[in-house]
Amino acid sequence: MVMAHPRKLVALGDSGIFGWGDPLEGGWCERLRRHWMELPGGPVLYNLGVRGDGLERLAARLKAEVGCRGELRRQQPQGILLGVGLNDTARVGRANGRPQLDGEGFLFGLQQLLHQAKAIAPVHVIGLTPVDEAAMPYAGVLWYRLDDIRRYEGLLEEACLEADVPFLPLLEGLLADPDWPQWLAGDGLHFNSEGHRQVYRRVSSWPALLAWADLVPLAGLTPMG
């Protein structure tokens, strides 16, 4: 059944949400927005990704960003999608430096964020993407490492399980494809157009998100590439 007023999904996160690195299609989130726009009753997707955002900066803007995207009077968005954590893993100054947010602080902050977000609308969380360690340091000062990214994605999954929030792991599935290094831009951190397409394929067919969008009967359709 087509809703009189389509559901609104607010996507909050870092450059992965924003679509940086994909000059062709604007990133996986933009691909999803356009795909949903073509469907009867498809949700409206607001891309609120900010380059460089970590957990603390995202938490600081959560309420205000989501609260002003209702469109209709006294209406809140019906869903929140979070994609954050990669920047928190970065080690500052040297390869064995301290991460921008240590694991304990990340887990605690994430638990608080999920509690706050769930009070606003149903929440979905996606995992992290791989990096090319040989290309580090990023911007001459930040070291991203696969073992750190794997650990923080585990913390994401732990917090989501505890909060009963749907979680879509990405890292291991992406690394399982031998072509994954070709999906990275020259900086070794951001996905290029093909990388964003790979994420889009996974997110657009995620059963939990399709169920929220009431698009399960349409899941067999082939989404845009």
The residue-averaged pLDDT of 7-31 equals 96
User: Does any domain span residue 170?
Assistant: yes
User: Does any domain span residue 94?
Assistant: yes
User: Does any domain span residue 2?
Assistant: no
Q: Shortest CA distance to 91 belongs to which of 50, 61, 133, 49?
A: 133
Specify the number of domains making up the chain.
1
Residue 196: which pLDDT band, with cuts at 50, 70 and 90? very high
Question: 190 is in which domain, residue-wise?
Answer: 8-215
**Cβ-based neighbours of 4, under 8 Å, separated by 6 or more:** none
**Cβ-based neighbours of 109, under 8 Å, separated by 6 or more:** 55, 56, 59, 101
Q: Tell me the C-alpha distance between 143 and 23, whole Å.
A: 25
Structure tokens at 157: 């999954």
User: Does any domain span residue 40?
Assistant: yes
List, for residues 129-150, the tens digit of each pLDDT value: 999 999 999 999 999 999 999 9
User: Does any domain span residue 3?
Assistant: no
Residue 121: which pLDDT band, with cuts at 50, 70 and 90? very high
pLDDT, residue 217, reads 53
User: Does any domain span residue 107?
Assistant: yes
Residue 58: which pLDDT band, with cuts at 50, 70 and 90? very high
The one-letter amino acid code at 168 reads: L
User: Does any domain span residue 221?
Assistant: no
CATH number of the domain that residue 96 is part of: 3.40.50.1110
Rounded to two decimals, the pTM is 0.92
Q: Tell me the C-alpha distance between 123 and 164, whole Å.
A: 9
User: Does any domain span residue 149?
Assistant: yes
pLDDT, residue 222, reads 45
The residue-averaged pLDDT of 195-221 equals 86
